[in-house]
Structure 1
Amino acid sequence: MNKNKLNVEIYGQQYQIVGKASPSYMRQVAGHVDEKMREIANVNPRLDMTRLAVLSAVNIADEYLRLKQEYDEILHLVEDETP
């Protein structure tokens, strides 16, 4: 499978993302990161870029783990009901 290269802007900085995912998906991921950084910066405008990035990563990881837990619980319920 070919790798895609895409230039994106996240919180005012340019990055080149390389991956096997589609360019539209990669744009969506970059947009989510940008959105999360802007949300946190609006609440904490004095954060430097490093702290802002780390807090954004922590928030995104929290979202992921909560959704994974919900998914696992639903999967468990479905498996319990399957004869």
Structure 2
Amino acid sequence: MNEKKHKVTVEIFGETYCLKSDAKLEKVVAIASEVDSRMKSIAQKNLRLSPGKVAVLAALNIAEAYLDLEQNYKQLIKMVEEEK
């Protein structure tokens, strides 16, 4: 699974980024699209926020979703192990 790193150009919140990744191109584009979507959603609800603050709020929202999923995953693993 030692995939070659490749470059991909994405646009997030009106800024262009050249990224290098060993993840599949489609995955990198999907991640960038998700970040862009969340930032735009936050900005539309809070018109006076700077792009930096929009980015931090998006990061906090994404981190919260990740931690919720991680907690749910751990609970499911625990339930499966208890069934054995």
Q: Could you tell me the TM-score, scaled by structure 2's length?
A: 0.94
Alignment match of 1:37 (pick from 36, 39, 51): 39
1:8-37 deviations in whole A, cap 9, x for unaligned? 000111001111100000000000000110
Q: In the comparison of the two structures, how many residue pairs are matched?
A: 82
User: Hey, what does 1:75 align to over in structure 2?
Assistant: 77
d(CA) in 2 for partners of 1:45, 1:23: 32
Could you say what the CA RMSD is over the residues aligned between the two structures, in angstroms? Answer: 0.7
How far apart are residue 4 of structure 1 and its match?
1.5
Question: In structure 1, what residue type is equivalent to 2:6?
Answer: N
| Identity level (%) | 39
Structure 2 residue ranges without an equivalent (≥5): none
Q: Could you tell me the TM-score, scaled by structure 1's length?
A: 0.95
Q: Secondary structure at the match of 1:57?
A: helix
How far apart are residue 78 of structure 1 and its match?
0.4
Moved over 3 A (4+): none
Alignment match of 1:20 (pick from 22, 27, 49): 22
